Amino acid sequence: MNSPTLTLWSLGLALETRLANALAPMGLSVAGFRLIGEVSAAPDGLRQTVLAARLGVRPPTVSVAVKRLEDLGLVTRVPDPSDPRARLVRVNPEANLGPGWDLIERLDQALILGLDADGLQALNHSLIHLQERLARSPE
């Protein structure tokens, strides 16, 4: 069967397996590294409720994950200047995340091998379009 859904699903599983195998020696899960990726994209930090929404999980799940990553020295929680009751999650500047980012770079290179600039742009556009369409469509 030639199904885009099954092909994307298979691609996602293959990427997740490669990520899981490479991150395990760092003591990280794929979900933990994804959380770190979201926090890394927000230099000022993110509230845990925002993280939960971005990751599509419940706030208690994020709380447990942040605590684990904090215990590993990868993230920190700091007071939110706009609300003294709230905390922001930030990547610990002393965390050694280089191997994880190197892995992402290697996977990117494997995925785009043979694509020229136009092909890469078309691939990115298509993936973003599919992601947005799926997010808007009813189940």
- What are the tens digits of pLDDT across the range 64-118? 999 999 999 999 999 999 998 889 999 999 988 888 888 889 888 888 888 898 9
Question: What is the rounded distance in angstroms from the CA atom of residue 44 to the CA atom of residue 105?
Answer: 24
Q: Half-sphere exposure of 41 toward its Cβ, with a 13 Å CA cutoff? A: 8
Please check whether the domain covering 4-136 is classified as CATH 1.10.10.10.
Answer: yes
Phi, psi dihedrals of residue 78, rounded to the nearest 5° = -130, 155
Domain-by-domain residue ranges, the chain?
A: 4-136
pTM to 2 decimal places: 0.79
Residue 139 pLDDT greater than 80, yes or no: no
In 3D, which of 81, 106, 136 has the Cα closest to residue 15?
106
